[in-house]
């Protein structure tokens, strides 16, 4: 589900960028910024690069009532933390222009639903996006951990991505009524 959500978001962002500057080439990519050897990733030049930087469990969705039928574990709801980088080597002004388009995109579209996002993943009602504030120290640590050079970027959080694999734990029968048993014998009537 993580890949499906991120792909839908990047495709929607790509369409927005293409409309904004009237250009048909791919302008947004789902990728890391560097490969495992620390070299710049290929195919990400002159694009907004979407990189997953963290996952956290959304604790607000833990208490769900049981339903009749199969007993399955409740879904794990995740918040995704993303780094969106304007990767325009040697063209800093262009990177800033795309960063501005990126901020405008998320200012205008903070909620993603099947009605406003083509290819929206089935099984999800909505996703909300928040721009995250990053202190300079946190930003330096993030870019250091990634192993890339700092470029204009935006950190966002996508709330709430449900992960559900319906492995049946047991069958639960439907409750048809409530009976009370006291354990006392009935008293004879005269």
Q: What is the pTM of this model?
A: 0.79
The mean of the pLDDT values for the chain is 86
pLDDT of residue 169: 46
- Per-residue pLDDT of 124-153, as tens digits, reads 889 999 999 999 999 999 999 999 999 999
Higher pLDDT, 66 or 56: 56
Q: What angle do CA 107, 55, 126 make, to 5 degrees?
A: 45
Stretch 167-187: mean pLDDT: 58
- Report domain extents, the chain: 2-64+71-164
pLDDT of residue 69: 62
- Per-residue pLDDT of 87-113, as tens digits, reads 999 999 999 999 999 999 999 999 999
d(CA 18, CA 39): 28
Task: Please provide the CATH number assigned to the domain covering 2-64+71-164.
Answer: 3.30.2000
């Amino acid at each position: 589900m993580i890949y499906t959500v991120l792909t839908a978001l990047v495709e929607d962002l790509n369409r927005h960028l293409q409309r904004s500057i009237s250009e048909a080439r791919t302008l947004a990519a789902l990728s890391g910024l560097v490969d495992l050897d620390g070299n710049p990733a290929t195919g990400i030049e002159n694009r907004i690069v979407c990189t997953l930087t963290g996952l956290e469990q959304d604790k607000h969705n833990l208490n769900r009532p049981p339903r009749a039928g199969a007993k399955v574990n409740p879904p794990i709801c995740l918040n995704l933390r993303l780094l969106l980088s304007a990767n325009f080597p040697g063209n800093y002004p262009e990177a800033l222009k795309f960063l501005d388009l990126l901020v405008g995109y998320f200012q205008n579209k903070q909620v993603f639903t099947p009605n406003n996002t083509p290819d929206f993943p089935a099984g999800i009602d909505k996703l909300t996006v928040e721009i995250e504030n990053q202190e300079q120290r946190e930003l330096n640590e993030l870019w250091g951990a990634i192993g890339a050079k700092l470029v204009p970027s935006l950190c966002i959080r996508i709330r709430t991505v449900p992960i559900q694999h319906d492995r049946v734990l047991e069958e639960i029968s439907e409750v048809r009524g409530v009976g009370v048993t006291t354990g006392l014998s009935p008293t004879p009537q005269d």
